[in-house]
Amino acid sequence: MIMENKKYTTLLFDADMTLFDFARAEEDAFGIVMHRHGIEFDAADFERYKKYNESLWASYGRGEITKEFLQRERFAAFLPTVRGGEGLDGGDVNREYLESLADCSVLLDGAEDACRILSGMYDLYIVTNGVERTQKKRLANSAIKPYIKDIFVSEEVGVPKPMKEYFDYVFAHIGEERRESSVIIGDSLTSDIEGGRRAGIDTILFCPSGKLSGETPVPDHIVRDHAELVRLLMPTE
């Protein structure tokens, strides 16, 4: 389905699992740091770390914890549970992990082509929660860098998506007049779609399964891949 009767000028892209393959980057960076310290871990250990890390990011998105606590806590809690992790400082290991993560700029299939095509019709920005240095380095080292006008990271903004204040900051920098002609594209209902709702802009959920299962908030549109996103956003005569 092609959008009709809507004149967008600005696309706000989430970064991880919308443009970047964060699942691969996370696994690679985690493995590099664990092996560096001789820590023994298996797939179950990694899944346990991921689940706890995701719960911390959810708490951060709700404004319940600080980014500093999240970064300190995720490894401080995990390391004592694996052989070889005892006695290591969670903050130090987190810094090593972020350095490795910053070097992982793998894109999802189709992301580069989509950005190249859409940048000829719209202004593209990235809106992401995360660590400023890490996210900006990943973008700088990626193939989509020439197509992105700017990136806004929650660490520099001071509040995370989905807070309305996050989007107020973005539009204060790119032009408040753009708000009514902007749409956000992201894979998260809680940060991207809810954030768009709070900001008063249209929303597109990037969802490979194509299914919501009755979850809320409800996006304006759902796409399963980048080719479908391009078709959706192609201007109509």
Collect all residues with Cβ–Cβ distance below 8 Å to 135 and sequence separation of at least 6.
15, 126, 128, 151, 153
Using the structure block, give the residue that is written with the tokens 């095509």.
117
Q: Which residues are identified as catalytic?
A: 14
Query: What residue type is assigned to position 78 of the chain?
Result: F
Q: Quickly list DSSP for 49-107.
A: HHHHHHHHHHHHHTTSS-HHHHHHHHHHHHGGGSTT-TT--HHHHHHHHHHHHHT--PB
Beta sheet of 182-186, edge-to-edge order: 150-153, 123-128, 10-13, 182-186, 202-206, 221-223
Beta carbons of 72 and 91 less than 8 angstroms apart: yes
Category of 191 on φ-ψ map: left (φ > 0), alpha (ψ -120 to 50) or beta: alpha
Q: Which two tokens stand for residue 59?
A: 């708490």
182 beta partners = 10
